[in-house]
Amino acid sequence: MNTTVTGEMAPGNCTTVTGFIFRGITDNSKLQNIVFVFFFAVYFCTLVGNVGMILLIRVDSQLHSSMYFFLSHLSLLDVVYSSVIAPKAMVSSLVKSKDISFPGCVVQFFLFSFCANNELCLLAVMAYDRFMAICKPLLYNVIMSKRVCFQLVAGSYLCACVNATVHTCTVFSLSFGHSNILDHFFCDIRPLQEISCSNFRINKLVHFTFAAIETIGTILIILISYIYIIFAILRIRSTAGRHKAFSTCASHLTAVSILYGTLIFTYLRPSSGSSVDWEKMVAVFYTLVIPMLNPLIYSLRNKEVKDALRRTICQKIISHCM
């Protein structure tokens, strides 16, 4: 296997790395074809589901509310998120050369970090939106105006950009040279730190601090919002009213539980002797499977989305028949 490490020496007895090589999910050539089929199927479903959700929200006027405005941005992030990882992983599973250039690794890591951080912020924004809708229904349309929604989304993008920039600069300020082989299927923090020949204690501390601040901060926003939501729902006298209020939050709570659970397990737990293969499986789940599940969660558990889909399909059938 050819490497892309040059012989020029950098400070600290490290060689200058011009690229990295992925080991991928498995070294078994027979299993690699199965990995390709799995990645392709998941990626295809992700694109169809999320692009379909974006188009449905745009064409159906009854979905032109702040809740679905945020959901359309979540779907957009899921498309970018999976597109950053899946195509390269699929190519790597088919060809012998599994390399990625140093700039390519930087770009992949930045976009991956940006999308992941942005999803956390957007889920917090969506929790705040549900809080306003259920706890302050009379003021909801006034407070959650188009301008405020744009500002909240812009704030999410800005926070994600700052976090992604810090993580990217911190990771790629390390020196690499002991090896350029990443025991992973994309450029992630732990594999990059493991092949670094620098002392990365401060690097890990910075990463952990920023990840903890954003994760804990967004979780607090979500928890506080839902504490108020629960008390508001309990004050509703009719069972039908309670069910309707809770059903508007069920999809969001499901998405929050799945994403935060996997990210906390992966990034905020202390370093341990856990299996690398197990970490890869978890990474497949949050980089590929969750973006595929989100549109299903928000469509199957949301009556308004299902009604909008029926209306759109019926309109297309009628217009085609006429």
- What is the torsion angle, in degrees rounded to the nearest 10, for the CA atoms of residue 229, residue 230, residue 234 and residue 236? 20
Report how far residue 248's alpha carbon sits from residue 253's, in angstroms, rounded to the nearest whole number: 10
Low-confidence ranges of the chain (pLDDT < 70): 1-15, 266-276, 300-301, 315-322
In order, the DSSP letters of 103-143 are HHHHHHHHHHHHHHHHHHHHHHHHHHHHHHHHHSTTTHHHH
CATH fold for domain 5-321: Rhopdopsin 7-helix transmembrane proteins (1.20.1070)
- pLDDT of 132 reads 92
- pLDDT of 154 reads 96
Contact 274, 28 (CB under 8 A): no
Which residue in this structure is represented by tokens 């705040």?
A: 128
- pLDDT of 129 reads 93
- pLDDT of 5 reads 40
Write phi, then psi, for 95 (nearest 5 degrees).
-105, 155
Interval 124-154: pLDDT, tens = 999 999 999 888 888 888 899 999 999 999 9
- pLDDT of 236 reads 79
- pLDDT of 1 reads 39
Contact 4, 20 (CB under 8 A): yes
Q: What angle do CA 30, 33, 35 make, to 5 degrees?
A: 110
In this structure, is the dihedral angle defined by the CA atoms of residues 22, 28, 29 and 32, taken in order, positive or negative?
Answer: negative
Range list of β-strands (E), 122-242: 181-182
Report how far residue 138's alpha carbon sits from residue 288's, in angstroms, rounded to the nearest whole number: 39
